[in-house]
Amino acid sequence: MAAERQRLEATELEGINDEYEHQAVNEWINEFVEETVPRLYRAPLLVELWAVFESGVIEIAKHLQKKQGHSLGLKDLRANNDFERARKYYQHVLHVPLITKDGVKERLDTLVLVRNAVAHCNGRIEVIPEDRLKKIQNWEQQQGDLSTDRRYLSFTGAFIKDMADAVKTALEDFTERVKQLGDQTPPT
């Protein structure tokens, strides 16, 4: 980021002699380097993290559906979001809990909220539906590591790491439990 700051200072401040204009451009550079660049870097990571989790859940659901002989598929159920639909499908159709680790469900709920705010609203605070924004703000107040106090959602590296850890923990635990199901032999 230091290199980006230096590049912008060299190109954008060159030839500005007016003190007020210099200060305004310098403030813009600071905001761009300290807030915009990290947001543009981190926001797509949240979309990718959710895609990793979702694809794992879908692939395992297809495998279990076929193995257990269910006619209902994951997409046949309705819910408020894909995560809720997956939890319902696993619980009521496959009879396998999707999430068993403490705290992971809450983090994944937050990840899908923030992912949707980024993917569908570009993280713009003013267009995030109010009920969803309130949930994001609750996370902000309780956990920190993300911010809703500007025009766009912004995230710390710690938030990204926490969400990555939630995805990793959930998928590792889940795949291990599914493997154990495969190792069980039916009683004779």
Query: Residue 124: its pLDDT value, please?
Result: 87
Domain edges within the chain: 42-183
- In this structure, the chain runs to a length of 188
Query: Residue 186: its pLDDT value, please?
Result: 43
Question: How far is the C-alpha of 98 from the C-alpha of 105, rounded, in Å?
Answer: 9
- Which residues does the chain have with pLDDT short of 70? 1, 183-188
| Beta-sheet strands, E only, within the chain | 146-147, 154-155
89, 61 in Cβ contact below 8 A? yes
Q: Is the pTM of this model over 0.85?
A: no
